[in-house]
């Protein structure tokens, strides 16, 4: 089956529309400011909480293996918190760049 110039032009328009949509930074046009802010807030909370939980779990496991309770748990809990803050900082920089 041979492609006609109309088919090729239609395909090029679709590609251009997708590239333009992708260039918006992933924002959906129907989202209100409240929805975007809520989504960002939930992501920030998840980033902080998950980093602290992973740090605490690693500290707990390391304490169990090395018999240093509660020192590694405490240290890794702080490392997890610091990692969460760094992740939130990176997210904030990315959001600022997308505006």
What are the residue ranges spanned by the domains of the chain?
Answer: 46-99
Predicted structure pTM score: 0.68
Picking from 76, 83, 80, the residue whose alpha carbon sits closest to that of residue 52 is 80
42-87 pLDDT, tens digit per residue, is 999 999 999 999 999 999 999 999 999 999 999 999 999 999 999 9
Cβ-based neighbours of 17, under 8 Å, separated by 6 or more: none
Q: Which of 27, 31, 47, 29 lies closest to 92 in space, CA to CA?
A: 47
Residue 71 region by backbone torsions, left for phi larger than 0, else alpha for psi between -120 and 50, else beta:
alpha
Mean pLDDT, all residues of the chain: 89
| 25, pLDDT greater than 70 | no
Q: What is the pLDDT of residue 6?
A: 84
pLDDT at 2: 64
The band of 7, judged by pLDDT with boundaries at 50, 70 and 90, is confident
């Amino acid at each position: 089956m041979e492609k006609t110039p109309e088919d090729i032009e239609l395909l090029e328009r679709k590609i251009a529309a997708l590239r333009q949509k992708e260039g918006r930074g992933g924002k959906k046009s129907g989202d209100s400011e409240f929805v975007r802010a809520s989504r960002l807030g939930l992501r920030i909370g998840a980033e902080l909480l998950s980093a602290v939980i992973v740090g605490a779990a690693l500290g707990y496991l390391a304490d169990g293996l090395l018999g240093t309770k509660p020192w590694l748990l405490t240290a890794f809990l702080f490392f997890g918190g610091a990692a969460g803050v760094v992740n939130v900082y990176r997210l904030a920089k990315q959001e600022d760049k997308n505006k």
